[in-house]
Amino acid sequence: DARVTQTPRHKVTEMGQEVTMRCQPILGHNTVFWYRQTMMQGLELLAYFRNRAPLDDSGMPKDRFSAEMPDATLATLKIQPSEPRDSAVYFCASGLGPSYEQYFGPGTRLTVT
């Protein structure tokens, strides 16, 4: 049963620290998405990739967030420096392309104190 994996599942850090979240998409999926979910905003798209190339990262605060896909099996989302307002659940999802459903990983629950 193929699934998206994410690490770490939980992260507590202090303001100003760097946070790196990792995602392994489903093998064969060519699109990878990073979302952030909070109670107030719901699911927000931060960035997405197709065939490892970034297509859109307009949802990310550029000064502190960065997203990369060093290879087809790994996507990373980095926050440096982290701030308390970054506390949220970060989901990675993968899919087969336009108009296709996306499959979500279990998420990384980030708390910045």
Partner 1 sequence: RKEVEQDPGPFNVPEGATVAFNCTYSNSASQSFFWYRQDCRKEPKLLMSVYSSGNEDGRFTAQLNRASQYISLLIRDSKLSDSATYLCVVPGRGAGSYQLTFGKGTKLSVIP
Q: Which residues bind partner 1 (CB under 8 A)?
A: 31, 33, 35, 42-43, 45, 48, 50, 55-56, 91, 95, 97-99, 101-107
Residue 52 to residue 12: CA distance in whole angstroms: 29
Least distance in angstroms from the C-beta of 17 to partner 1: 24
Smallest distance from the beta carbon of 6 to partner 1, in angstroms? Answer: 9
Give the Cβ contact number of residue 92 at 10 Å.
28
Task: Compute the radius of gyration of the chain from its Cα atoms.
Answer: 13
Q: Which is nearer to partner 1, 45 or 81 (CB)?
A: 45
Amino acid, res. 5:
T
Smallest separation, CB 94 to partner 1 (Å): 11
Q: Would you say 81 or 106 has its CB closer to partner 1?
A: 106
> What span, in angstroms and rounded, lies between the C-alpha atoms of 93 and 71?
16
